[in-house]
Copies of this chain bind each other. A is one copy, B any other.
Amino acid sequence: MENKETFIKKLRSSGLRPTRQRIEICRVLYDRKNTFHFTINDLAGILKKKSNQKVSLATIYNTVFAFKKKNYLKEISINTNKSYFDTNVSNHHHFFNESTDQLIDLKNDDVGKVKIKKKIPGKKIKSVEVLVRISN
């Protein structure tokens, strides 16, 4: 559980002014015990329910992408039509349940070390992502 002051710092360090809307976004994302997986649409829906005033999509995209850049959020590669984000920014992988479109974290220990034996000259590896598709 984080408090308002933490959110204000988080925002400032992302180069964002701590406005009412952005603090509400922080509350939804970080004021919880467990990892949170979401799409922009999910987030917009939750904000709409929680607060009386609506937060516009432009603001949500703006904040989410700033947080992604600051590594406060991670974007997950799934080729559905929408982007999925994860509040767990540590190095980990995912199950994607194709029956329900839901993401489940795989702890680091749940996946054996992935060895990439090939190198591409002049390129750096930015990340290694494992996606395990499951269904009922």
Q: Pick the interface stretch among A10-18, A26-34, A41-49, A124-132.
A: A124-132
CA A117 to CA B112, docked complex, whole Å: 7
Inter-chain contact B130/A134, CB cutoff 8 Å = no
Query: How many copies of this protein are present in the complex?
Result: 2
| Given A79-B78, A110-B118, A112-B113, A127-B133 contact (CB < 8 Å) | yes
How large, as a class, is the contact surface on chain A? 35 or more
Q: Which of B104, B111, B129 contacts A133 (CB 8 A)?
A: B129
A8 within 8 A of B: no
Instruction: Pick the 7 closest A-B CB pairs, nearest first.
Output: A112-B115, A110-B118, A126-B133, A123-B134, A77-B79, A127-B133, A129-B131
